[in-house]
Structure 1
Amino acid sequence: MAGTAAAAPRFLHIDALRGIAALLVVWLHVTQFFQAQLAPVQPMGGLALARFAQDFDFGRIGVMLFFLISGYVIPDSIRLDRPSPLATFAIRRVLRIFPAYWLSVPLGAGAMWWLWGRPFGWREILVNLTLLQDLVGVPPAIGVYWTLLVELVFYALCIVLALLHSLHDARRIAWLAALLAGVHTLAVFAAWRGVALSLPLAFLPLYLSFMLCGALFRHLDDGAAIDAGARRLLAALVGYYLVVFPLAASWAIGPRNNYVVCGAIALLVFLLGTRVTRLRAGLFVWLGRISYSLYLFHAPLTMLVLWWLLQQAADSPWRGQHMLVYLAACTLLGVAAAAVVERCVERPGIALGRWLATRWQQRAAARLR
Structure 2
Amino acid sequence: MSSGETAVRNRIEFLDAVRGVAASLVVFHHLMVNISPEYRWFGHTFFDPGRIGVVAFFLVSGYVIPLSLRRGTQNAFWIKRFFRLFPVYWVAFALYFAVAHKSISDAPLWVWGMNFLMLNGLLGLVSILPPAWTLSIELLFYIQSSTARLRGVLDRTVHFGWLWLVLFLALAAGSRALEKDLPLTLPLLMFCAALGHSLYLRDHGGSRIWRYLLGAGLVLGPVGTYVRGHDGEWAPLTYSLSFILGLCLFLVFYLLQARSVPNALKWLGGISYSLYLFHITITHTFHDLLGLDGPLYFMVGAAASVGIAHLAHRYVEKPFNRLGHGLSRTRIKAAIGASSS
Give TM class, smaller chain.
Answer: 0.7 to 0.9
2-structure distance, mates of 1:73, 1:64? 15
2-structure distance, mates of 1:247, 1:360? 47
Partner of 1:314: none
Alpha-carbon contact 2:83-2:324 (below 8 Å) kept: yes
Alpha-carbon contact 2:44-2:238 (below 8 Å) kept: no
2-structure distance, mates of 1:130, 1:122? 13
Alpha-carbon contact 2:22-2:53 (below 8 Å) kept: yes
Alpha-carbon contact 1:112-1:141 (below 8 Å) kept: no
As a proportion of its length, which structure holds more helix? 2
Partner of 2:135: 148
1-structure distance, mates of 2:29, 2:70? 37
2-structure distance, mates of 1:249, 1:132? 25
1-structure distance, mates of 2:304, 2:333? 42
Post-superposition offset of 1:338: 0.2
The CA RMSD over aligned residues, in Å, is 2.7
Post-superposition offset of 1:7: 8.6
Partner of 1:234: 210
Q: 1:331 aligns with which of 302, 320, 324?
A: 302
Distance 1:195 1:279, change over 3 A: farther
Distance 1:135 1:70, change over 3 A: closer
2-structure distance, mates of 1:257, 1:281? 33
1-structure distance, mates of 2:109, 2:211? 49
> Are 1:210 and 2:192 an aligned pair?
yes
**TM-score, normalisation: structure 1:** 0.80
Post-superposition offset of 1:132: 2.7
Distance 1:117 1:90, change over 3 A: closer
Post-superposition offset of 1:139: 3.7
Post-superposition offset of 1:150: 0.7
Post-superposition offset of 1:263: 1.3
Partner of 2:22: 21
Q: Secondary structure at the match of 2:32?
A: helix
Alpha-carbon contact 1:105-1:125 (below 8 Å) kept: no
User: Which range moved further: 332-341 or 6-15?
Assistant: 6-15
Q: 2:63 aligns with which of 72, 90, 96?
A: 72
Where structure 1 has 5 or more consecutive residues not aligned to the other structure, the ranges are 1-5, 36-45, 311-318
Post-superposition offset of 1:19: 0.9
> Which string of whole-angstrom CA distances, capped at 9 and with x for unpartnered residues, describes residues 43-73 of structure 1?
xxx5433433444111111111100001111
**TM-score, normalisation: structure 2:** 0.86
The count of residues paired between Structure 1 and Structure 2 equals: 328
Alpha-carbon contact 2:158-2:195 (below 8 Å) kept: yes
Q: Which residues of 2 match residues 188-337 of structure 1 at below 5 A? A: 188-194=172-178, 196=180, 199-200=182-183, 202-222=184-204, 224-226=205-207, 231=208, 233-246=209-222, 249-250=225-226, 253=229, 258-276=238-256, 280-310=261-291, 319=292, 322=294, 324-337=295-308
Post-superposition offset of 1:247: 5.6
Post-superposition offset of 1:138: 5.8
Partner of 1:38: none
Post-superposition offset of 1:196: 4.9
Distance 1:14 1:140, change over 3 A: same
Amino acid at match of 1:103: V
Amino acid at match of 1:101: Y
Q: 2:117 aligns with which of 130, 154, 158?
A: 130
User: Which range moved further: 266-275 or 105-114?
Assistant: 105-114
2-structure distance, mates of 1:220, 1:265? 21
Alpha-carbon contact 1:133-1:140 (below 8 Å) kept: yes
Alpha-carbon contact 1:109-1:125 (below 8 Å) kept: no
Alpha-carbon contact 2:115-2:127 (below 8 Å) kept: yes
Alpha-carbon contact 2:121-2:134 (below 8 Å) kept: no
Q: Secondary structure at the match of 1:193?
A: helix
2-structure distance, mates of 1:79, 1:159? 10
Post-superposition offset of 1:275: 1.2
Distance 1:7 1:342, change over 3 A: farther
Partner of 2:82: 94
User: Which range moved further: 58-67 or 71-80?
Assistant: 71-80
2-structure distance, mates of 1:196, 1:248? 15
Distance 1:292 1:257, change over 3 A: farther
Alpha-carbon contact 1:78-1:89 (below 8 Å) kept: yes
Q: Secondary structure at the match of 1:141?
A: coil
